[in-house]
């Protein structure tokens, strides 16, 4: 445990008159875009973050940081620029990086890793893989698809 202040350590939080132990957890997610355009990227990133927020009851105040990766064929707009427009996300630390290129890997793919504070155990965190990215982690697959997007399969898993 960390240092204490008033009997509560820096990893604990007083919520509704109860002391709750907070942990930093990670949420993984990914999606694909139909084309390399600001509109398609904006739609896919917004959809992904909406589902992640809903499935995990995620409050932007609890987010520690968010890292997006994009494959080399996505360069029309930064995914973080889309996220920054979300309500209450203006102060969330966001970073975009390019996904390493692996032969035969999924094209037009945006991945995200969100670190956040929560009392939940890691097994209760919902990881979200949408559209063509649902094949990357079938063990974490969420039944949520977009009919306007074709699925791509990849021999490499995320």
Residue 84 belongs to a domain with what CATH number? 3.30.1330.40
Structure tokens at 96: 């975009």
| pLDDT digit string, tens, across residues 99-142 | 999 999 999 999 999 999 999 999 999 999 999 998 887 776 55
Inside any domain, residue 125: yes
Confidence of residue 12 (pLDDT cuts 50, 70, 90): low
Inside any domain, residue 35: yes
The residue range of the domain holding 54 is: 23-140
pLDDT, position 16: 57
Inside any domain, residue 38: yes
Inside any domain, residue 151: no
Q: Rounded CA gap, 47 and 147, in Å?
A: 13
Inside any domain, residue 41: yes
Inside any domain, residue 33: yes
| pLDDT digit string, tens, across residues 28-87 | 999 999 999 999 999 999 999 999 999 999 999 999 999 999 999 999 999 999 999 999
Inside any domain, residue 124: yes
Inside any domain, residue 16: no
Give, in order, the Cα–Cα distances in Å from 99 to each of 47, 87, 110, 128. Answer: 20, 27, 8, 18
**pTM across the whole model:** 0.79
Domain count, the chain: 1
Nearest to 46 by CA among 59, 25, 29, 27: 29
């Amino acid at each position: 445990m960390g240092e204490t202040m008033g009997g509560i350590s820096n990893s604990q939080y007083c919520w509704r008159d109860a002391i709750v132990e907070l942990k930093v957890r990670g949420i993984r997610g990914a999606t694909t875009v139909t084309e390399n355009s600001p509109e398609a990227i904006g739609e896919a990133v917004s959809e992904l973050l909406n589902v992640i927020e809903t499935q995990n009851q995620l409050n932007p105040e609890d987010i520690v940081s968010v890292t997006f990766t994009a494959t080399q064929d996505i360069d029309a707009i930064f995914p973080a620029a889309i996220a920054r427009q979300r309500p209450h996300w203006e102060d969330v630390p966001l970073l975009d990086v390019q996904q390493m290129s692996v032969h035969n890997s999924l094209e037009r793919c945006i991945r995200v890793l969100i670190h956040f504070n929560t009392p939940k155990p890691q097994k209760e965190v919902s990881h979200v893989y949408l559209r063509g990215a649902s094949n990357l982690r079938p063990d974490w697959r969420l039944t949520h698809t977009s009919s306007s997007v074709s699925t791509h399969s990849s021999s490499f898993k995320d």
